[in-house]
Structure 1
Amino acid sequence: MGEHAESAKGEDTEVRAKRAPVNWRRTREQGFSFVASVVRWVGLVFAAILVLHVIFVIGSANPGNGIVSFVRSWADGLSLGFRDLFTPSDEKLRVLVNYGIAAIFWLVVSAILAKILRRIGGLGS
């Protein structure tokens, strides 16, 4: 039994020696690229929720509908300080402008953050 253990241990050492070395630079780049992609997708989803809210308001969707109220609750949180930036008398115009600006904000900010993350991940290249 001792001979078998010695043989297995020797094979394990040989397998470890044959493995390719880890390319940490590439791994870092892939990690930052993945995080940057997640940031872009989150920004896109946030913008989509805001645009859906605009569509529901302009289209006079039923505010009692579950989907409409769910989107409205998320859009209110995602609009940040833009919700009452402009105050035209027409509610539909107010929602279009303010929530539209908030959607553009999320797209721009997520694009900038993703670009920064990709640059950080590629440092030393």
Structure 2
Amino acid sequence: MSSRYRNGSHSAGRVVAIVADIMAFILGLWILMYLLDANQGNSFVQFIHDCARWLAGWSHDLFTFDEQWARVVAGYGLAAVVYLFVGHAIANRVRS
């Protein structure tokens, strides 16, 4: 295979990894904002919360801990780890 095609797949793999990193960053940022009791009335905080809620829709309230902070960390944290793991696995597969 020519190097032209390898560079294209390398770039595609890099894009997949970057998208996965951004998704995990948004989820991690929301966890941090929640734990630090960020102002829910702030438009930036609300935007991050909306994005994180959409990204973690499948894992939101998956766990039933008594403490709300534990549910947030577990639910959104699980989504972040899954996006990182799956995204980087796909990126590595595309690169090879």
1:93 aligned to 2:74? Answer: no
Structure with greater Cα Rg: 1
Gaps of 5+ in 1: 1-23, 120-125
TM-score normalized by structure 1? 0.74
> 1:109 offset after TM fit, Å?
0.7
1:27 maps to 4
Q: Secondary structure of 1:82's match?
A: coil
1:75 maps to 52
What aligned pairs does 1:1-125 form with structure 2 within 5 A after superposition? 25-119=2-96
> 1:56 offset after TM fit, Å?
0.8
State the aligned residue count: 96
> 1:90 offset after TM fit, Å?
1.2
What letter is aligned with 2:12?
V
> 1:80 offset after TM fit, Å?
3.4
How many percent of aligned residue pairs carry the same amino acid? 31
What letter is aligned with 2:75?
N
What letter is aligned with 2:33?
F
TM-score normalized by structure 2? 0.95
Deviation above 4 Å: which 4+ runs of structure 1?
Answer: none
> 1:47 offset after TM fit, Å?
0.2
What letter is aligned with 1:109?
V
> 1:93 offset after TM fit, Å?
1.0
1:20 maps to none
Q: Deviations over 1:69-104 (max 9, x none)?
A: 000000011113111210212111110111011110
